[in-house]
């Protein structure tokens, strides 16, 4: 067979597979968006409609005002923003230490950091619940921030080490020769170069904190302290489900991550490749 023909057939099958995969992803998202704009009668009707007969934003209004999504959104935003600040700061400091300093047990320490990512969070629920109860951190948003920071710092510190290792140390040395201290060299020279890496860590951390469900579900029982993932779960009743409000709530929950990716997508691609540099 002609190599060009063979190559063309391979590309055709590749694009067909890619198109099928895209359709598989897009259809549930499309159905959720369409459902959020339908009336309840149309959603539960035996006649399936693929486009709303009459658009309505009632589901969004009811989800935001009546179902408490305004409070859930605020709580999720608080946890995610505060969590990202702590995760980024600790990850940059830890990554810098791992990339620039030599000390005994460094490789073992990094191995331990990586191994923590293999531990399922569910396995730690009981001991962490008892610890949080004794510390008075149940029904406390700062307790959830502490959980997010604890679980996400190890991976992000390793990733930040990859970013920093890819930057030549002579840049910092030149700044120190010009009169900067090590801290000034890091703040004025290294951090501006690290923007793609910081954007990657911040985006990954924000999404992880925003989507956190298990520990919030177990450690928070007060309605005014719930986050969006738990709020969505609570909308599924024992006997009835308001599919319109549930779909609207899901769309509301996705909007911040879409906005975030629209701003950091350029840095995200470069940052992920830079973080793969072997130190």
pLDDT at position 75: 94
What is the average pLDDT across 222-246? 86
Confidence of residue 27 (pLDDT cuts 50, 70, 90): very high
| pTM for the model | 0.83
Looking at residue 118, its pLDDT comes to 85
Tell me: pLDDT of 224 over 70. yes
pLDDT given for residue 165 in this prediction: 85
With bands split at pLDDT 50, 70 and 90, how would you rate the model's confidence at 2? low
Q: Which domains does the chain have, with CATH numbers?
A: 68-277 (1.10.3720.10)
Interior angle at CA 205, CA 204 and CA 208, nearest 5: 85
Write the pLDDT tens digit of every residue in 74-124.
Answer: 999 999 999 999 999 999 999 988 888 888 888 888 888 888 888 888 888
Residue of higher predicted confidence among 276 and 3: 3
Report pLDDT for 268. Answer: 61
The per-residue pLDDT for range 181-203, each reduced to its tens digit, is: 888 888 888 888 888 888 888 98
């Amino acid at each position: 067979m002609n190599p060009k023909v063979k190559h063309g057939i391979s590309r055709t099958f590749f694009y067909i597979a890619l198109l099928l995969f895209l359709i598989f992803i897009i259809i549930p998202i499309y159905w959720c968006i369409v459902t959020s704009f339908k009336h309840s009668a149309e959603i539960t009707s035996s006649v399936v409609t693929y486009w709303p007969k009459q658009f309505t934003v009632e589901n969004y209004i009811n989800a935001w005002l009546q179902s408490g999504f305004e409070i859930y959104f605020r709580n999720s935003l608080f946890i995610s923003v505060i969590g990202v600040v702590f995760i980024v700061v600790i990850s940059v400091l830890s990554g810098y230490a791992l990339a620039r300093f030599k000390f005994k047990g460094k490789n073992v320490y990094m191995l331990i950091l990586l191994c923590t990512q293999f531990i399922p969070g569910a396995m730690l629920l009981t001991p962490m619940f008892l610890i949080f109860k004794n510390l008075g951190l149940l029904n406390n948003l700062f307790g959830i921030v502490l959980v997010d920071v604890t679980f996400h710092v190890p991976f992000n510190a390793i990733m930040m080490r990859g970013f920093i290792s890819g930057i030549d140390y002579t840049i910092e040395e030149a700044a120190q020769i010009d009169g900067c201290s090590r801290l000034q060299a890091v703040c004025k020279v290294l951090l501006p170069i690290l923007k793609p890496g910081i954007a990657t860590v911040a985006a990954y951390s924000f999404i992880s904190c925003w989507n956190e469900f298990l520990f919030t579900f177990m450690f928070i029982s007060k309605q005014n302290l719930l986050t969006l993932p738990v709020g969505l779960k609570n909308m599924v009743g024992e006997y009835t489900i308001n599919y319109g409000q549930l779909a609207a709530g899901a769309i509301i929950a996705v909007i911040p991550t879409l906005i975030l990716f629209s701003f950091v997508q350029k840095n995200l691609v470069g940052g992920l490749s830079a973080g793969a540099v072997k130190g």
